[in-house]
Amino acid sequence: MVKYRLVTHGESDEFLRSIQGQISSISKLECENCDMYDLTGFQRDLLYVVAGLDDPHGLAIKDELEDYYEKEIHHGRLYPNLDTLVEKGLIEKSQRDRRTNEYSTTRRGTREIEARTGWEARYIDHDG
């Protein structure tokens, strides 16, 4: 989290604490989406698919994205991007069996999705 230290002359301590609290809140809101804006569009789509599938494993994720993109998604694109989401703490990877990995959204990943969709809702009219 970004920390600010306000330096002024002649202001009351109470006023300074108030301003520092406001700055801190603004910084927190701006940084809540830090991981989301750093993702590629493909990675963001992966995160949404993992969050939305009932049984998110590699092949199901691949099939869902191929339906959306209307083209083949190669393993060399899919799995490194899933690993990036794991490294960022947005999804978790576990082993179902020796050949199949399962993925699930972390609490952080869910918060990032909620923050992102909230931000998008400010600019996109879904009713019109």
**What pLDDT is attached to residue 22?**
53
Per-residue pLDDT band for 97 (boundaries 50, 70, 90) equals confident
Q: What is the pLDDT of residues 2-52, one digit of tens each?
A: 444 444 445 556 655 665 555 444 434 444 445 678 899 999 999 999 999
CA dist., res. 31 & res. 33, Å (int)? 5
Q: What is the pLDDT averaged over residues 99-108?
A: 94
CATH number for 35-121: choose from 2.60.40.10, 1.10.10.10, 3.30.2180.10, 3.30.70.270.
1.10.10.10
Strand partners, 57: 102
Q: Which residues of 34-72 are buried (b: 16+ CB within 10 A; e: fewer)?
A: ebbeebeeebbbbbbbbbebeebbbebbbebbeeeeeee
Q: Has this prediction a pTM greater than 0.85? A: no
Do 41 and 69 touch, CB atoms closer than 8 A?
Answer: no
Portion of the chain with pLDDT greater than 70, in percent: 71
